[in-house]
Amino acid sequence: MTAPNVPHFDPDRSRARAAGDETPVVLTGADLTIADIEAVARAGVRAQLDVHARERMQEARDVIATLVSNGAVVYGVTTGFGDLASTVIPPEQAAQLQENLLMSHAAGVGPAFPREVVRTMLLLRANTLALGHSGCRPIVVDRLLDLLRLGVHPVVPEQGSVGASGDLAPLAHLALPLIGRGRAEFGGRVVTGAEALLAVGLEPLTLQAKEGLALLNGTQMMSAIGALLLADADRLVRTASVAAAMSVEALLGTDVAFAAAYQLARPHPGQIAVAAELRHLLRDSGLQASHHGHAHKVQDPYSLRCQPQVAGACLQQVQDVARTLLLEANGVSDNPLVFGKEGDVLSGGNFHAEPVAFAADNLALAIAEIGALGERRIAMLIDDSLSQLPAFLVRHGGLNSGFMIAQVTAAALASENKSLAHPASVDSLPTSANQEDHVSMATFAARR
């Protein structure tokens, strides 16, 4: 089988967007970035389907149409789903099957996701369909992008996915308004899917064979949360360097431990990057200049001295998570997959979200460690036995408590983070009559 005719995806490249850049995001299925995701989800930038992606989608759709017309038995196309895969569905019931699939799988519970998560889900689902391996018509992607463009945001409950066979329940809720079902938030009100479509002048879609499955079989809920948190975590790691540099100054610490030669002796890329950031932030400090060539300050406590080693390890985790989530955002987690040029339809397990589960768990570890290190510096700053600063950073201590309770709150949050960082990916409960006998729990890993 030849390789699919799609753009090459390089997860290491960086394509930043300038603030206020409203250039539309063009979905090829293969080169979506975190900056693109943020632009659409948080800044309302428009997205549109690439012309070549449209051609690939139509090519794959023609394969599905041929299979249906020939009466072929293909999982998810002319059969039931999961443990009902041996039940053949006649062609005249194909549309009803798709609607039944969405309705039966919309079994999520709990509070609804915020708007930015839902917008990211719509974008990611459109992008994965754009690769042309899901066998749905281009109009399905057009309609997902219409919801984004017109501000129709499906109501998607947070709970109900185990992260294998994808995010079935959440994605079913996401797709229901396309067919005039479910609920959506529009204009600040929650209305029925039919009311939302009527308000923006759209007709409900009548889904054809395979399209219902193509809409709900994937990892777009967990990936949506992960992508947005990744953007925030990247800013958190870099902000932590600023806080650390300020703490070094306030506590009369030394930047000697951040020297390039010292860091290169143990060449972890994240460690080297954070140390360089600290040196840059402290470059004009008269205090640091006074330490160079003198021995009056040999070394500091670990929460200052080991910022490159700890935050650098966290930065590496964030970068590894970015690689995983970008690959996921630009891959196909549907099943079965259609290969248009060859006319093949192949079943497998791309919907299993173990890579995303590990990524979310590792991101939680990195966030917790950044917080733990920050709490220790706060404790040093308010403790006059460890610093040359007033106790609790306040004059007239006793009359005023200063930042005493700020550190207590930081300690409470750091402790809570430890529990939240417990991995979700080590758990599994079989579902779907043991057809799905190992699941990733990646969705909870991302939500947590």
If we measure between CA atoms, which residue out of 43, 53, 41, 1 comes closest to residue 18?
43
Partners of 184 in beta bridges: 154, 191
How big is the CA angle at 437 (ends 436 and 440), to the nearest 5 degrees? 80
Burial class (CB in 10 A: 0-12, 13-18, 19+), 254: buried
The answer to whether the beta carbons of residues 117 and 165 sit under 8 Å apart is: no
Give the total residue count for the chain.
448
If we measure between CA atoms, which residue out of 182, 207, 209 comes closest to residue 196?
182
Amino acid making up residue 99: E
75 is catalytic: yes
Buried b (16+ CB within 10 A) or exposed e, 329-358: bbbbbbbbbbbbeeeebeeeebbbbbbbbb
The answer to whether the beta carbons of residues 130 and 27 sit under 8 Å apart is: yes
| Dist. CA 64–CA 329, nearest whole Å | 24
In the set 32, 75, 141, 316, the catalytic residue is 75
Amino acid making up residue 248: V
What amino acid positions are annotated as catalytic residues? 75
